[in-house]
Amino acid sequence: MFSKQEENGVTIISINQDRLDTVMAPDLKTELLLLVDQGVTKILVDLSNVVYVDSSGLGALLFGVRQMKNLGGHLILCGANSKVSNLIKIARLETHLKNYRDRKQALASLNRV
């Protein structure tokens, strides 16, 4: 479903499915809670392989943002395609779900905070 790695103090979660929906969202939320429990404060969710996100997927991402904010941390996205980016904009969530074009840009952003 997803893979996890650490790079320069940032935990990267790569979604390895083409859909972030009601099937995947609970597992992502569980993983995010585990990371919070471990004290992780910088998370990058790589959506490069995702072609579809529904409200459950957006909810899981927002859940992660709230958890990170409570810890003084950050969760950002990278690689969202135009369809997913447009959904985030339509839902008026672009200020909460910051998306970067690629992993390099996103990591640079997290390393500045």
**pLDDT tens digits for 47-88?**
999 999 999 999 999 999 999 999 999 999 999 999 999 999
Tokens of residue 90, six digits: 């339509």
Instruction: Name the pLDDT band for 35 (thresholds 50, 70, 90).
Output: very high
* Burial zone of 62 (CB within 10 Å; 0-12 exposed, 13-18 middle, 19+ buried): middle
Q: For the chain, which residues make up each domain, given as ranges? A: 2-112
Instruction: Name the pLDDT band for 27 (thresholds 50, 70, 90).
Output: very high
Question: Global pTM?
Answer: 0.94
Instruction: Name the pLDDT band for 111 (thresholds 50, 70, 90).
Output: confident
Share of the chain above pLDDT 70, in %: 100
23-42 average pLDDT score = 96
CB 109 within 8 A of CB 103: no
CB 73 within 8 A of CB 39: no
Nearest CA-CA partner of 17 in 9, 27, 8: 27
Q: Which CATH number, 3.30.1240.10, 3.40.50.300, 3.30.310.80, 3.30.750.24, labels domain 2-112? A: 3.30.750.24
36-45 average pLDDT score = 96
